[in-house]
Amino acid sequence: MRWLMGTFWEIETPGIPASDAVSAAFAEIRRLDDLLSHYKPESELSRLNAHGQAVVPQELADLIGRCLAYSAESQGAFDITVAPLVELWGFKDMAPRVPSPSDLALARQTVGWQRVSVSGNGVRMAPGTRLEFGAIGKGYALDRAMAVLTRAGIARARIDAGGQQLVRGTWTIGILHPRCDGLLGSVTVTNQSVATSGDTERFFIHDGIRYNHHIDPRTGWPSTDFASVTIVAPDAEAADALGTLSTVAGPEAARPIVAAHHAEALWYGADGRVRTTPGFRWQPESPGPKGDPGTTRGQQVD
């Protein structure tokens, strides 16, 4: 287990002791943190944000390009230019607050995926625009870390990045209940990623309203309709991006996008209602008492 990208990462390789491959996988995650972090002033992303344009590693340019595709697909529900709004609401510095209407209007002027262009490995942004990969970075790192294990010949593994999981082999993954102690249910997956986006960790309550860090880039306000969204997807990058996209856009708009990426989704509404895509296969569990939801874990299925 390591603390990377602002969360705990755990790599499990049943029947195989800690190895050079596991160390290499953690090293890959650390490399990507150095590339994608908007907290580290020396990262490639911070350099791009500081200058507004840069020739960046092709890997970063390609990731930005895929993010822009998600933005176009979702009509802006997914948008990596949301950084100024995340900062304004205080979620970056862990001092959450409701911004003034004037500050919100000013920040919104710098947000919008159309303000970013990629040509080769050159990236250009409109003045004031800044990027952050909170909605996709962990997923991308999960895929790259698993690729390291796969190249080393490890056929069965589980990588957990703060609750988002990517597995090789067949595993049962628990889905945290966003309002009660314990699990909402579980899914059994093979060679897939399971990501749950929710409001159980980064949130605050103001005037009886529960605000979370899933900010709708189109309005500047946090999305409050869904307490959690769980995505099952073929890869972790898609699961991560679709989780944020589906939280902001909601089931009606997100379902065709989720289907286009060969994924499935479950929405747990703020009203307690559960909605799913047609192919979401899960095992519901009876809720426990209200309290801390605990920790999502994966269990190997032999």
Q: What is the CATH number of the domain that holds 280?
A: 3.10.520.10
Q: What percent of the chain has pLDDT over 90?
A: 80
3-state DSSP call for residue 256?
helix
Total count of domains within the chain: 1
- pLDDT, average across residues 266-292: 84
- pLDDT, average across residues 187-196: 98
What is the pLDDT, as a whole number, of residue 297?
Answer: 35
Q: Is 29 contained in some domain?
A: no
Cα Rg of the chain, angstroms: 19
What is the pLDDT, as a whole number, of residue 299?
Answer: 34
What is the pLDDT, as a whole number, of residue 287?
Answer: 60
Q: Is 296 contained in some domain?
A: yes
Q: Is 274 contained in some domain?
A: yes
For 80-124, write each residue's pLDDT tens digit. 999 999 999 998 878 889 999 999 999 999 999 999 999 999 999
Question: Residue 17: how many CA atoms within 13 Å on its side-chain side?
Answer: 0
Q: Is 199 contained in some domain?
A: yes
What tokens appear for 41 in the block?
């002033």
- pLDDT, average across residues 152-180: 95
Q: Is 171 contained in some domain?
A: yes
Q: Is 141 contained in some domain?
A: no
Average per-residue pLDDT in the chain?
91
Q: How far apart are CA 48 and CA 52, in angstroms?
A: 6
Question: Whole domain around residue 213: which residue ranges?
Answer: 156-300
pLDDT beyond 80 at 164: yes
What is the pLDDT, as a whole number, of residue 19?
Answer: 87
Q: What percent of the chain has pLDDT over 70?
A: 94
Q: How far apart are CA 176 and CA 202, in angstroms?
A: 15
Lowest mean pLDDT among 43-47, 157-161, 283-287: 283-287
pLDDT bin (cut points 50, 70, 90) of residue 277 is: very high
DSSP code for 113: G
Q: How far apart are CA 226 and CA 199, in angstroms?
A: 8
Q: How far apart are CA 290 and CA 233, in angstroms?
A: 29
Q: How far apart are CA 58 and CA 63, in angstroms?
A: 9
Q: Is 288 contained in some domain?
A: yes
Q: Is 100 contained in some domain?
A: no
